[in-house]
Amino acid sequence: MGRMTRHRIEIGLALAITLAAFLFVALAVWAEERTSIAVSEAWVRPTIGEGRVTAAYMTIQNIGTDTDVLRSASSPKAARVEIHETKMTDEGVMKMRPVENGLTVDRGGAVSMKPGGLHIMIMGLDEKLPEGATLPLTLDFAKAGKVQLTVPVATRPAGASKDATGDHSHH
């Protein structure tokens, strides 16, 4: 093997190693950006009777470096999934409405979805959701992208006392 050929092989090998290192760093940065949302304490209420409507609750934490927005949610088991909030009107009546323009999750912050407040409304379910089942749910964030969840069906979050969720069995 000539000196020139050996030199070309060394240069090619150095370029290949440099390219591999660049791709590794780029993929690591991309992976970090894609995992800037952490979801905990997720649960969905069982459906009642023949009902095909329920609600999911969870805590969404933004561990990224930028504010993000939960734009939408979906499930292959439901016709419609919406982000809702329940608020008291000036007349003292509780009203549930879709959240307009998504749900902002500040950098380093968390949003807690609980009965009587923010929640994911799930409508037109394919089938009943009995306690102990699970529901696939996808959250779509402006920056973090899609976050896939498998949400347990329960009457209250794991480890919570019966009084912790109040009586909001209507959704």
- All structural domains of the chain with their residue ranges: 1-34, 37-158
The pLDDT tens digits along the chain (171 residues) read: 677 777 677 776 655 565 444 444 444 455 444 569 999 999 999 999 888 999 999 999 999 999 999 999 999 999 999 999 998 888 988 899 999 999 999 999 999 999 999 999 999 999 999 999 999 999 999 999 999 999 999 998 876 655 544 444 444
pTM value is 0.73
CATH superfamily of 37-158: PCu(A)C copper chaperone (2.60.40.1890)
Q: What are phi and psi of 139, to 5 degrees?
A: -100, 135
- Output the CA–CA distances (angstroms, integers) from residue 48 to 9, 44, 122, 127, in the order listed: 70, 12, 13, 11
Q: Determine contact, residues 75/138, Cβ cutoff 8 Å.
A: yes
Count CB atoms within 10 A of the CB of residue 149.
Answer: 19
CA angle 75, 127, 134 (to 5 degrees): 55
Give the residue among 118, 105, 101 at the shortest CA–CA distance from 56: 118
Q: Which residue(s) pair with 143 in the sheet?
A: none
| Letter string b/e over residues 77-108, b meaning 16 or more CB atoms within 10 A of that residue's CB | bbeebbbbbbeeeeeeeeeeeeeeeebebeee
C-alpha span between 57 and 122 (Å, rounded): 11
C-alpha span between 46 and 134 (Å, rounded): 10
